[in-house]
Structure 1
Amino acid sequence: MGDASTMPKRGAALAGRIRGLAPGVLICGLIALAAQFLSDHYGAPAMLMALLIGMALNFVLDPPSRAAAGVGFSAKTLLRLGVALLGARIGLEAFAELGWPVLALVGGALIATLAFGYLAARVLGRGWRLAVLSAGSVAICGASAAMAIAAVLPRNEFSERNLAFTVFGVTLLSTVAMIVYPLVAAMVGLDELQTGIFLGATIHDVAQVVGAGFAVSDFTGETATTVKLIRVSMLAPFVLVLTLILRATVEPGDPNAARPPLVPGFVVAFAALVVLGSLGLVPPILREAATALSKWAMLTAIAAVGVKTELRKFREIPVQSVVLISAETLFIACFALVALRFLG
């Protein structure tokens, strides 16, 4: 009897929770729809559009705001959902297709870019959080990596601003790279296979990799996409290692510093989907649905990040941060070119 009597209360609490979240989630969802419309019809990067439109609507959080809870839910929970479902599009067979030299190139580029980003941040007087966030985004998968990394980094007063800046920066630089890198590959004499490896190993976001690769040839596009998915697959191991490092380095005497979980749930879900998909246990229709839901969840999440970002704070970003993310982008491109020459 006691359990039966609590069910209406739980249902009412859930309904109240949904009503509280609905305004903010709907606002972020509408921003995501508008961003995707601009992308589909005008070729603008959807992530960038969602961020900019969201920033323009920051006023919806002016107190008293009914949207605040839903915007926070979108920026945090929908972000983790999107990253977790991203694993559905990755198959381990991609590793076997290209061989160990390409895997070594991609892994080496990740480690080298992280090391370069950390050293460059110290030289430029930037904090380690921005170094990890920007270098990880550049080395792995752009805006998606930025949001996943930000989800486990210790938060401070600059966290929202740094995330918005990193998403803006990697998306803008990725769009420039989509246009410039095929020309660079032709200038240095790369063949179609090498060009595909170069584009997949250096351009930040998947959409721009596809655009650049297939602009050269179908073979180059397929190669670039495969290499890019290998980079994306490194997201879960990287976030897991980062989480373990953060757990070991959080000051136990700081009462305000909560240790991150040993293994974030969204990382476990990401890895599980990769394994299940590689074993053929995820039907194609479910894989397509998960991929589509991942895309919309992350687009809604980045819209929420934009809404939470005040333009005034965005303008306060120091020029050193711009130099940092630009230098990291240039570094990984140079690393890949040198590695391709060495590998032949």
Structure 2
Amino acid sequence: MTASLATSPNILNRVKAKAHALFPGVMVSVMVAVAAKFLSEHYATPAMLLALLLGIAVSFLSEDGKAVAGIGFSARTLLRLGVALLGVRISMDLMASLGLELILLVVAGVIATIGFGIAFGRVFGHKWRFSFLTAGSVAICGASAAMAIIAILPKDERSEERLIFTVLGVTVLSTIAMIAYPVLVNWLELTELQGGVFLGGTIHDVAQVVGAGFSISEYTGDTATLVKLIRVATLAPVVLVASLLIRHFAELPEDGKRPPVLPMFVVGFLALAALNSFHLIPAFVADFLSQASRWLLLIAIAAVGMKTNLKQILSVGGAAIALIVLETVFIAAFILAGIKLLT
């Protein structure tokens, strides 16, 4: 009894010391995220892109000083928590309302795009890590998927460089698609349903899907959002399968430790999705957790930006740009062909 009472203050002191060490860096990351959100709402620019760019602008903060530990914590732990909370946006009811054929088309688009990216990455001289990262982010949900996938990939000196390039690439391409794809939908004379499936099945980030869909009609916007959430729902299975394959076939990381079979953030994602599917999460709680997920991911990407060496990012070359553009074109062509065949 005496020992346990003595241990409690020690634990409390360690927690306080840890919080004190992390606080400056976490607060800097929060401030950058808040600034990005403010600018995003006033200048119609994706918040993720702004958080990344603002983070890069103050990257000196991660080099030395009191903020270093908190920035690392934000880029790593808050990232995983944000991805886990994405699960609250998924439910079986939402997916069932679209119909089995279109659900299978969307899932097939995700799988085919990842396969295409890994295969063609070799043509451009890229190893599987970069190819899987870009293809997964294009196929699933843009920056959020990129941050989830990087968490399970074996780490090396270029991991953060790959992540930054991918987030920049998918965010820029997603913004271009938000403007160009509604024009393409009208030019191809797609119905409201077809247009919603196309936009939701091809644009990378959720916010841009919503913007593109509702610029056509309310029904198209609702359909596009639903289709996009189905793509988001594939994040956990893709990460799980990838974790198993990496665990068994990839070379051991520098620390000699294999990644866990099922990362905890994926467990959290699946648990929240299951609870939401059985209507066990009240609507106001689900909305709060969904908003919390957005903010955590925004804070995390700001921190990732602060840990970035801009010169290294600019050195990735034309082959990397060509790969991510080709992956974007591939998923658009795949989903469009599927729509024409099924509807």
Moved more, 183-192 or 77-86: 183-192
- Partner of 1:216: helix, strand, or coil? coil
Tell me the distance in 2 between the aligned counterparts of 1:293 and 1:72.
Answer: 19
Q: Secondary structure at the residue paired with 2:207?
A: helix
> Offset at 1:115?
1.3
* Pairing 1:104-183 to 2, within 5 Å after superposition: 104-183=104-183
Match of 1:58 in 2: 59
Q: Distance in 2 between matches of 1:145 and 1:92?
A: 20
Deviation at 1:317, TM superposition (A): 1.3
Q: Tell whether the 8 Å contact from 1:250 to 1:259 is kept in structure 2 after alignment.
A: no
1:6 aligns with 2:7: yes
* Offset of residue 334 of structure 1: 0.7
How far apart, in 2, do the equivalents of 1:291 and 1:73 lie? Answer: 21
Contact 1:144–1:298 (CA under 8 A) maintained in structure 2: yes
1:36-115 map, 5 Å: 36-63=37-64, 65-115=65-115
- Give the Cα–Cα distance (whole angstroms) in 2 for the partners of residues 323 and 251 of structure 1: 27
Once residues 313 and 266 of structure 2 are traced to their aligned partners in structure 1, the CA distance between those partners, rounded to angstroms, is 29
Structure 1 residue aligned with 2:322: 323
C-alpha separation between the residues in 2 aligned to 1:148 and 1:265?
Answer: 11
Percentage identity across aligned positions? 51
CA contact (8 A) 1:251 1:257 kept: no
Q: How does 1:10-49 map to 2 (within 5 A)?
A: 10-49=11-50
Aligned: 1:268 with 2:260: no
Alignment of 1:174-323 (within 5 A): 174-251=174-251, 256-323=255-322
Q: State the shift of 1:199 in Å.
A: 0.2
Q: Following TM superposition, where does structure 1 have runs of at least 4 consecutive aligned residues deviating by more than 2 angstroms?
A: 254-257
**CA distance, structure 1, for counterparts of residue 250 and residue 328 of structure 2:** 29
TM norm structure 1: 0.98
Structure 1: gaps spanning 5 or more residues: none
Deviation at 1:255?
Answer: 6.2
Matched residues in 2 for 1:29 and 1:240: separation?
30
CA distance in 1: counterparts of 2:259 and 2:294, whole angstroms: 25
| Matched position secondary structure for 1:98 | coil
**For the residues of structure 1 that align with 2:257 and 2:48, how far apart are their CA atoms?**
30
Whole-angstrom CA distance in 1 between matches of 2:4 and 2:41: 50
> Does the Cα contact within 8 Å between 1:152 and 1:239 map onto a contact in 2?
yes
* Preserved contact between residue 20 and residue 66 of structure 1 (Cα < 8 Å): yes
User: Could you tell me how far apart the structure 2 residues matched to 1:62 and 1:267 are?
Assistant: 31
* Cα distance, 1:269 vs structure 2: 0.7
Gaps of 5+ in 2: none
Q: TM-score, normalised by structure 2?
A: 0.98
Deviation track 1:154-200 (CA, whole Å, cap 9, x = no partner) reads: 11111001101100110110000000001111112211100000000
> Equivalents in 1 of 2:280, 2:63: separation in Å?
47
- State the one-letter code of the partner of 1:180: A
Paired with 1:301 and 1:282, the residues of 2 have a C-alpha distance of 25
CA distance in 2, matches of 1:319, 1:156: 22
